[in-house]
Amino acid sequence: GQNIDQPTEMTATEGAIVQINCTYQTSGFNGLFWYQQHAGEAPTFLSYNVLDGLEEKGRFSSFLSRSKGYSYLLLKELQMKDSASYLCAMAEDSNYQLIWGAGTKLIIKP
């Protein structure tokens, strides 16, 4: 079957670094997305990984290990505006839907 897991909530300090993990199980993997969602708003695209390795985009980086069914989102130089939920979602070969995790609520403290 298909399954995707991420922590429910994390807390970090402004200016620090935080890593949000995501593990998944699927029979036909075709990529892993990360989205940011502020309360009351729609998800905003952050990154897409389909090959193993690290993708860096400014303060945000995303890593994928297909053999381990594992991804993480790394946020550097945290700002208060980074307080949001971060959702990972996997794409499968056999259909055209994204399978979403429940999201990790990130709380940034001064």
Minimum CB distance to other proteins smaller for 6 or for 16: 6
The one segment of 16-24, 54-62, 65-73, 94-102 that binds other proteins by CB under 8 A: 94-102
Q: What is the DSSP string of 18-44?
A: EEEEEEEE-SSEEEEEEEEE-TTS--E
Task: At 20, list the tokens.
Answer: 């949000």
Length in residues, the chain:
110
CA dihedral (27, 52, 7, 82) positive or negative: negative
Minimum CB distance to other proteins smaller for 3 or for 13: 3
Q: Does 2 bind other proteins (CB under 8 A)?
A: no
**Pairwise CA distance, residues 63 & 48, whole Å:** 10
Binding-site member from 16, 17, 50, 107 for other proteins (CB under 8 A)? 50
**Which chain residues interact with other proteins by CB under 8 A?**
30-31, 33, 35, 41-45, 48, 50, 87, 89, 91, 93, 95-103
